[in-house]
Structure 1
């Protein structure tokens, strides 16, 4: 069962088109914006993350959950244990490593996670700051919203010069 305090999909199994089954996910801090494994570290990006006050507020409140996620990401046995709640006959050796994904997650300065779309306009620029799981499904609606924001800006400034 997903933790209601975190806007992530809980551990689950998904059958692929070819019949193979993917197990996942877990959620751990990446050491780079495109850190698809533990070896990828970008010192500047990691520094920005570690000096953000919201991270430490979240960590203080959620260290048990965070520690369990790290353990699951490093231990096949721990990961299999969590999946056995869904499939009791699953054995550790059924799991094989697979590529990881990176899911960006917006966090407020108070350490709370943004669990919905967060789109802001700054002058004539629109920033999509958080786009949770249904973003691909909602892409056309998001685009309409962004176009609407930009049209409001044009209405205020007038049409752009040719």
Structure 2
């Protein structure tokens, strides 16, 4: 087996990072409004009016970084795009404690250039646990973290989008393989053993899952880079591929540069 060693690669506790960001926002006088569902957006020449299920918010500008719902927010603002968010669930296992010694760093496969997914890999976390995964399967709900989660609205958005069927016809084999790995631990382990041959089926314990907000174009192309569009008084981040969390501070700096074009930064 051959590999490239990247000694500066690392990991953080992103929950702690997010909590610190929230703390800094509030220290600067910002407000964090949870459980506010956006119902309508109106951009005028002078202001932005956002109606939510808990009242109306007015301002001079807004940034849409709503992840799994970013395309819907853009649609509410009458932003014309050729992308649709298609949710892909990534399922993980965790290495049992007595086998964690096998993984001292981050171990990644060479990615498939046609797929903007990382493939099954090993991630040694801050607390010493080791995540193994993920696969990449179509989620039947935008926030569907379980195999049984289902949303009729979300599935209609996928199935009525012609870009999805173009993608499915082009990568049917890969899609079926990912689905098989989702339901067959044995097949999942075979993927793991390409990186770590010593891993056996009983070395893996059930782990968490995440849902990727993948932007898909009408021609069936998976967007593999940041996809940012502008409104009259808005910026819409419609695709933020991995490692978006790692790059979040740099993405923020990029947003500042965009805002400078609107002369909103002093």
Gapped regions of structure 1 (runs ≥ 5): 156-162
Give secondary structure in 1 for the equivalent of 2:221. Answer: coil
Could you tell me how far 1:119 is from its partner in structure 2?
0.8
Could you tell me how far 1:146 is from its partner in structure 2?
2.2
Give secondary structure in 1 for the equivalent of 2:213. Answer: coil
Hey, what's the Cα distance between the residues in 1 that align with 2:253 and 2:194? 41
Match of 2:137 among 19, 28, 51: 28
Could you tell me how far 1:46 is from its partner in structure 2?
0.9
Find out whether 1:41 has 2:150 as its counterpart: yes
Could you tell me how far 1:154 is from its partner in structure 2?
4.5
Counterpart in the other structure of 2:188: 79
Find out whether 1:101 has 2:210 as its counterpart: yes
Could you tell me how far 1:150 is from its partner in structure 2?
3.2
Counterpart in the other structure of 2:125: 16
Match of 1:115 among 224, 229, 233: 224
Does the CA-based 8 Å contact 1:124-1:150 persist in structure 2? no
Could you tell me how far 1:32 is from its partner in structure 2?
0.8
Show CA shifts across 1:11-61 (max 9, x none): 111222333221101111111110001111011011111111111000000
Counterpart in the other structure of 2:116: 7
Higher relative contact order (CA 8 A, sep 6+): 2
Could you tell me how far 1:108 is from its partner in structure 2?
0.6
Higher relative strand content = 2
Counterpart in the other structure of 1:144: 253
Does the CA-based 8 Å contact 1:117-1:131 persist in structure 2? yes
Higher relative helix content = 1
Gapped regions of structure 2 (runs ≥ 5): 1-109
TM-score under structure 2 length normalisation: 0.55
TM-score under structure 1 length normalisation: 0.88
Hey, what's the Cα distance between the residues in 2 that align with 1:32 and 1:131? 19
Count of paired positions? 156
Could you tell me how far 1:98 is from its partner in structure 2?
1.1
Does the CA-based 8 Å contact 1:26-1:73 persist in structure 2? yes
